[in-house]
């Protein structure tokens, strides 16, 4: 049998993964609920004072979104590992990094994109000033793919482990700290009326680099874990 082209394989993989998410759309909503609950806890703990909430709003939303994504990263390869399709991906004649890139894209568009969509709601809950919202959305749009990409490398290393949740957090968080600092930093700068372009440009630069390197690294890591 002749293998199809790489782009056909990517499209098939994208369709399959999106379909799988769609069939279990209840599960896909979990990160969203988690983020909303975490954000809603802060006014309970700190009191409903508008000035306090507005001060911490951007950072809190950032942390909540990153944690919610982290929660869903664990499942990135799990079902594929269990039914054996992950090994088929590794064995396929197409570049593994390209296929993993598709999986990362699906992960980002099914967990991060909904989170970005509800971010304005979260911002309202925490009284974020209206002029900061576009900056927050831009920072999230740049930082969440970074987390998906870096997270995929770490998930590939821990794939097949029974209880990898805590370990995964330990592996991902140190690597994602710069994205958090710069993303939340841009929002805080915008809130204080300073220039905020530089941190966003840094995030964009990292994203461009990670988009190229992370799928390659994830493929190498997956080959290590599956040998």
Q: Which residues bind another protein (CB under 8 A)?
A: 153-154, 157-158, 161, 164, 167, 170-171, 173-175, 177-178, 217, 220-221, 224-225, 227
Under 8 Å between Cβ of 80 and 154: no
Residues in the chain, total? 227
The nearer residue to another protein, 123 or 196, going by C-beta atoms, is 196
For residues 58 and 127, the answer to whether their CB atoms sit within 8 Å is no
What residues contact residue 93 under an 8 Å CB cut-off, 6+ apart?
3
Q: How far is the CB of 102 from another protein (least distance, A)?
A: 21
Smallest distance, another protein to C-beta of residue 209, A? 10
The residue among 50 and 227 lying less far from another protein, judged by its C-beta, is 227
108 versus 182: smaller Cβ distance to another protein: 182
Nearer to another protein, 10 or 211 (CB): 211
Shortest separation between residue 103's beta carbon and another protein, angstroms: 18
Q: Which of 130, 147, 139 is nearest to 59 (CA)?
A: 139
Q: Which is nearer to another protein, 69 or 221 (CB)?
A: 221
- Minimal distance in Å, beta carbon 44 to another protein? 25
| Rounded distance between C-alpha atoms, residue 220 and residue 218, angstroms | 5
Query: Could you count the other beta carbons within 10 Å of the beta carbon of residue 51?
Result: 7
CB of 167 to another protein, least distance (A): 5
Cα separation, 214 vs 107, in Å, equals 14
């Amino acid at each position: 049998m002749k293998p199809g082209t790489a782009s056909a394989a990517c499209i098939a993989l994208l369709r399959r993964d999106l379909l799988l998410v769609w069939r279990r759309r209840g599960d896909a909503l979990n990160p969203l609920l988690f983020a909303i609950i975490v954000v809603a806890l802060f006014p309970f703990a700190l009191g409903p004072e508008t000035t306090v909430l507005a001060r911490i709003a951007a950072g809190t939303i950032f942390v909540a979104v990153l944690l919610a994504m982290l929660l869903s990263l664990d499942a990135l390869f799990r079902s594929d590992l269990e039914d054996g399709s992950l090994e088929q991906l590794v064995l396929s004649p197409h570049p593994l990094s390209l296929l993993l890139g598709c999986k990362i894209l699906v992960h980002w568009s099914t967990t991060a994109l909904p989170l970005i969509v509800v971010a304005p709601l979260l911002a309202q809950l925490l009284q974020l000033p209206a002029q900061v919202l576009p900056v927050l959305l831009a920072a999230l749009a740049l930082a969440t793919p970074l987390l998906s990409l870096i997270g995929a490398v770490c998930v590939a290393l821990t794939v097949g482990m029974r209880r990898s949740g805590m370990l995964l957090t330990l592996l991902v968080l140190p690597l994602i700290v710069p994205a958090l600092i710069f993303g939340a930093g841009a929002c805080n700068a915008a809130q204080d009326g300073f220039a905020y372009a530089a941190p966003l440009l840094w995030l964009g630069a990292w994203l461009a680099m990670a988009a190229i390197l992370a799928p390659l690294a994830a493929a190498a890591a997956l080959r290590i874990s599956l040998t």
